[in-house]
Amino acid sequence: MRTPKISRELVNRAKVKIPGAVNSPVRAWNAVGGSPIFIERAAGATLTDADGRQFLDYVCSYGPTILGHAHPRVIAAIAEQAQLGLGFGAPTRLEVELAEAISSAIKCAEKVRLVSSGTEAGMTALRIARAATSRENIIKFDGCYHGHSDSLLVRAGSGGMTLGQPDSGGVPKALAALTMVARYNSIESVENLFRAAPQEIAAVIVEPVAANMGVVNPLPEFLQELADLAHRNGALLICDEVISGFRLNFGSVSETMGVAPDLIMLGKIIGGGMPVGAVAGPARLMDLLAPAGPVYQAGTLSGNPLSVRAGLETLKVLRESNVYAQLDASGARLEGGLRAALKKHAQTGCVNRAGSLLTMFLGPKRVIDADEARTSDGKKFAKFFHAMIERGINIPPSQFEAMFISTAHSDADIDRTIVAAEESLAEAI
């Protein structure tokens, strides 16, 4: 599709002053080609770009806007809070309320430290785990993303997978060597790593429902066995619920699956669309953090009032209206339509879904780990993506990012999306 005038002008200006024209790599559309659309505003399920065109949105800011864009109650809360000041370098009542709200929804979250991004949550969780165990190695899974800190940017899915770069430049080899990589859904691969470095592994970090290699659900028992294996070896289990927390139920999906994480990472939804992250766990671990304990962590804007107000209001709406049944029904409707579309056009592929998170993989008949995800047909996906954009449907510009559904997506929206997907699949052959 030809990039419309204003987006084209903006991208040309951006290329001069911003590396790769964007402030986060996936936004550059490198995996699908073409040049990105610049967004002017959004409301509900609809984005409006700088040229005035509208798109039904399945990116949802990559997760935070579970209530749809510019939800009136969230916006009112932020506006009211802005009148009271943007941050004080001192504690606020709001931070106590958000910690209490998280703690009452998530059993393992006895204490909560707020930070400004999921990346910081990951850094902090590792630091706590390393201090608590006096060990330095960690195990992560190929295709799982936990933010862009040095230790965790090893075979990290998401942007790295999209750009075909398993690892990042600029990460010290000595540090990357402490990160051991296992295969998602393979307990055997984790056992092998524990055998290779007994007594050296501080933590296993996992997305309980993976969403950064496309959506991949854990096989039955995988998470429980993982928790047992980690604990038998004296390591902690860190569940990264930056996407899944409050997305699939009001709280932690690990806990609904019967797993008790030692530390949990949150972000995205708990900031209602504003920058946020959190690490939470039992007091015995969390009190290792300064100033209670010896593990240093800090942030000028940590727990800033706008993010916390937006998050509190979002959680309030989520709890009041118990939206998860609706989100799951919307997800199921889209899943059914996409499966039928694949079948109708005799396209091989599969649809993975967890509640309102969904990925249609073009090519593989099954995806349970990153290797299977990587067998997807990127060229076909790129054609499909552009055909969807032309039909006014904004899906993530990568095979390896989840589609997000919000409470603002109506059945009619989903049905329109399915029609567009059928036509786009026919074009993408």
Residue 169, φ and ψ in degrees, nearest 5: -65, 155
Closest CA to 381 of 334, 318, 425, 348: 425
Closest CA to 234 of 141, 129, 110, 146: 129
Which CB, 194 or 246, lies closer to ligand PLP?
246
Nearest-approach distance from CB 282 to ligand PLP, in angstroms:
21
The span from the CA of 30 to the CA of 9, in Å, is: 18
Nearest-approach distance from CB 333 to ligand PLP, in angstroms:
24
CB 259 within 8 A of CB 104: no
For residue 302, which amino acid is it?
A: S
Assess 147 for contact with ligand PLP (CB under 6 A).
yes
Which CB, 240 or 377, lies closer to ligand PLP?
240
> What are the residues whose beta carbons fall under 8 Å from the beta carbon of 75, sequence distance 6 or more?
none
Nearest-approach distance from CB 231 to ligand PLP, in angstroms:
22
Assess 143 for contact with ligand PLP (CB under 6 A).
no
Assess 65 for contact with ligand PLP (CB under 6 A).
no
Please give the radius of gyration of the chain, using alpha carbons only, rounded to the nearest integer.
21
Nearest-approach distance from CB 237 to ligand PLP, in angstroms:
15
Assess 145 for contact with ligand PLP (CB under 6 A).
yes
The span from the CA of 266 to the CA of 109, in Å, is: 10
DSSP-assigned letter for residue 30: T
CB 108 within 8 A of CB 255: yes
Assess 304 for contact with ligand PLP (CB under 6 A).
no
Nearest-approach distance from CB 404 to ligand PLP, in angstroms:
11
The span from the CA of 115 to the CA of 103, in Å, is: 16
Strand pairing partners for 290? Answer: none
Considering only the stretches 116-124, 333-341, 380-388, 418-426, report the one whose residues sit in contact with ligand PLP under the rule CB under 6 A: 116-124
Residue in 49, 207, 313, 377 binding ligand PLP, rule: CB under 6 A: 207
Which CB, 347 or 398, lies closer to ligand PLP?
398
The span from the CA of 231 to the CA of 97, in Å, is: 32
Assess 212 for contact with ligand PLP (CB under 6 A).
yes
Locate tokens 């047992």: which residue?
Answer: 228
Strand pairing partners for 237? Answer: 204
Assess 302 for contact with ligand PLP (CB under 6 A).
no
27-38: b (≥16 Cβ within 10 Å) or e: bbbbbbebbbbb
Locate tokens 């290792």: which residue?
Answer: 288
> What are the residues whose beta carbons fall under 8 Å from the beta carbon of 200, sequence distance 6 or more?
135, 136, 137
When CB distances to ligand PLP are compared, the closest residue is 118
The span from the CA of 419 to the CA of 362, in Å, is: 17
Nearest-approach distance from CB 117 to ligand PLP, in angstroms:
4
Which CB, 181 or 387, lies closer to ligand PLP?
181
Which CB, 314 or 347, lies closer to ligand PLP?
314
Assess 117 for contact with ligand PLP (CB under 6 A).
yes
> What are the residues whose beta carbons fall under 8 Å from the beta carbon of 394, sequence distance 6 or more?
37, 47, 55, 56, 57, 58, 59, 388
Considering only the stretches 37-45, 238-246, 340-348, 387-395, report the one whose residues sit in contact with ligand PLP under the rule CB under 6 A: 238-246
Map the footprint of ligand PLP across residues 266-295, applying CB under 6 A. Answer: 267, 277
Nearest-approach distance from CB 53 to ligand PLP, in angstroms:
27
Assess 115 for contact with ligand PLP (CB under 6 A).
no
Considering only the stretches 46-54, 115-123, 351-359, 366-374, report the one whose residues sit in contact with ligand PLP under the rule CB under 6 A: 115-123
The span from the CA of 71 to the CA of 78, in Å, is: 11
CA distances from 410 to 45, 66, 326, 334 (A): 9, 13, 10, 11
Nearest-approach distance from CB 300 to ligand PLP, in angstroms:
16
Assess 396 for contact with ligand PLP (CB under 6 A).
no
Locate tokens 């289990």: which residue?
Answer: 237
Total binding residues for ligand PLP by CB under 6 A?
A: 14
Considering only the stretches 10-18, 141-149, 251-259, 376-384, report the one whose residues sit in contact with ligand PLP under the rule CB under 6 A: 141-149
Question: Which residues belong to the active site?
Answer: 145, 240, 268
Nearest-approach distance from CB 341 to ligand PLP, in angstroms:
27
Residue in 235, 242, 278, 334 binding ligand PLP, rule: CB under 6 A: 242
For residue 200, which amino acid is it?
A: E
Considering only the stretches 82-90, 145-153, 216-224, 389-397, report the one whose residues sit in contact with ligand PLP under the rule CB under 6 A: 145-153
Assess 119 for contact with ligand PLP (CB under 6 A).
yes
Q: Could you list the residues that contact ligand PLP (CB under 6 A)?
A: 117-119, 122, 145-147, 207, 212, 240, 242-243, 267, 277
